[in-house]
Amino acid sequence: MNKEFISFLKEFTFILIFSIALAFVFIVFFLGGNLDPTFYLQSHHINTGYSYEDDNIVTIKGVYCYEMQGSSMNPTLFEDNIVCLKKYNGEKLKQGNIIQYNTSEGDNIHRIVAIEPDKIVVKGDNNKVEEVIDYNSVKGVLVLTLYE
């Protein structure tokens, strides 16, 4: 290899290592080591498309996010994962979609195991029993999960 290329590699490596070290110092000393994005997001920081609502952490243009509760969807989703769902507006659902739906006990998040013209069969990945729900009870479809 020629000397110019070796010199370039040395400079590049130094800059890369220096940048990583600087990022580490910033995280530890200025952020206190806390990388949780919800720690820094305050309602007054952003005023376009973001809002705190009930138990939701943040709502972004038709997508709402909150902490997962329970173990019925283990090992796909775990308690305290952040789940983000798109509001359901009657679009076509598919077998395998993970949805949020209303029940008499509250909201559940489970996977669609079968779709029929007038009903949906759902089941938690960690459950043995299937549930039959109607389309009117569907609130949202999972689009993103943030794992701890």
Length of the chain (residues): 148
Q: What is the pLDDT of residue 125?
A: 93
Q: How confident is the model at residue 5 (pLDDT cuts 50, 70, 90)?
A: confident
For residue 81, count CB atoms less than 10 angstroms from its CB and return exposed for 0-12, middle for 13-18, buried for 19 or more: middle
pTM given for the model: 0.60
Detail the DSSP E strand segments found in the chain.
50-53, 56-60, 63-67, 82-87, 98-103, 106-115, 120-123, 131-133, 138-146
Q: How confident is the model at residue 128 (pLDDT cuts 50, 70, 90)?
A: very high
Per-residue pLDDT of 28-70, as tens digits, reads 666 555 555 544 444 444 443 444 455 555 556 778 888 889 9
Per-residue pLDDT of 64-118, as tens digits, reads 888 889 999 998 888 888 888 999 988 899 999 999 999 988 899 999 999 998 9
Distance separating alpha carbons of residues 146 and 130, to the nearest angstrom = 26
Q: What is the pLDDT of residue 30?
A: 60
Residue boundaries of the structural domains of the chain: 1-35, 37-146
Q: What is the pLDDT of residue 12?
A: 83
- Assigned CATH topology for domain 37-146: Umud Fragment, subunit A (2.10.109)
Report the sign of the C-alpha dihedral through residues 62, 63, 65, 71, in that order: positive
